[in-house]
């Protein structure tokens, strides 16, 4: 089993990564992490190269991600809430998935295939925000572009006062979701 983790946090040892690391402890197989804050991936500039050609005109770290998205079994999106949304850096990364939409819906490429995957969303929030509707909706759009079915989400709130490492409920949920991904993979 292979899992790709896409982190939208600038904090490598922050709350979102604490929950990611808890999942990684229990996940079977290989794990690869993309830190959207420090990889070499530019945003989509709507050059429309992909309207008429296979692939993306921007030759950067995203080429590897396009390939990984056809290899991995799971995708985990982890992000702090910034202004009640996924972080801008994560959205900038996600804009490059426009290639998939265009291949399918504009270029109607019959050879375009996207491996089916399972997904988990991890959200961290400093305040007492219990409404993740907006960020969940955005994450689901991203999952859909990746042909990924969300199997659940875990959130940690009040991180301004209680860091994720002390949020026992969230840590337990993270572990349960990792075990569920293992189980789903074993059934497939």
Q: Does 131 interact with ligand FMN (rule: CB under 6 A)?
A: no
Position among 40, 59, 83, 187 found at the interface with ligand FMN (CB under 6 A)? 83
135 contacts ligand FMN (rule: CB under 6 A): no
Determine if 88 is a binding residue for ligand FMN (CB under 6 A): no
Separation in Å, CA 12 to CA 17, 20, 33, 151: 6, 10, 11, 25
Angle 182-186-188 (CA atoms, 0-180°, nearest 5)? Answer: 120
Number of residues that bind ligand FMN (CB under 6 A): 16
Q: Name every residue whose Cβ is closer than 8 Å to that of residue 67 and which is 6 or more positions away in sequence.
A: none
Does residue 122 belong to the site contacting ligand FMN (CB under 6 A)? Answer: no
**Nearer to ligand FMN among residue 42 and residue 129 (C-beta):** 129
84 binding ligand FMN? (CB under 6 A): yes
- Report d(CA 88, CA 54) in Å as an integer: 27
Strands 117-124 and 148-156: parallel
Q: How far, in Å, CA of 164 to CA of 170, rounded?
A: 7
Could you say which of 28, 31, 92, 126 contacts ligand FMN (CB under 6 A)? 126
Q: Rounded to an integer, what distance in angstroms lies between the CA atom of residue 43 and that of residue 91?
A: 9
Could you tell me the smallest distance in angstroms from the CB atom of residue 8 to ligand FMN?
Answer: 8
DSSP 85: B
The residue from 9, 118, 145, 182 that contacts ligand FMN (CB under 6 A) is 9
CB of 51 to ligand FMN, least distance (A): 34
> Judged by CB under 6 A, does residue 153 bind ligand FMN?
no
Measured from the CB of residue 81, what is the shortest distance to ligand FMN in angstroms?
Answer: 4
């Amino acid at each position: 089993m292979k899992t790709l983790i896409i982190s939208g946090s600038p904090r490598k040892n922050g709350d979102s990564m604490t929950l990611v690391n808890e999942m990684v402890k229990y996940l079977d197989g290989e794990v690869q992490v993309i830190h959207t804050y420090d990889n070499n991936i530019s945003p989509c500039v709507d050059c429309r190269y992909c309207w008429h050609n296979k692939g993306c005109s921007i030759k950067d770290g995203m080429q590897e991600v396009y390939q990984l998205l056809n290899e991995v079994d799971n995708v985990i999106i982890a992000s702090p809430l910034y202004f009640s949304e996924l972080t801008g850096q994560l959205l900038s990364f996600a804009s490059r998935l426009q290639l998939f939409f265009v291949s399918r819906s504009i270029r109607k490429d019959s050879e375009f295939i996207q491996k089916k995957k399972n997904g988990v969303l991890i959200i961290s929030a400093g305040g007492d925000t219990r409404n993740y509707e907006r960020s969940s909706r955005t994450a689901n759009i991203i999952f859909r572009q990746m042909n990924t079915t969300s199997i659940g989400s875990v959130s940690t709130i009040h991180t301004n006062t209680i860091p994720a490492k002390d949020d026992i409920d969230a840590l337990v949920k993270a572990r349960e979701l990792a075990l569920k991904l293992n189980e789903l993979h074993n059934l497939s």
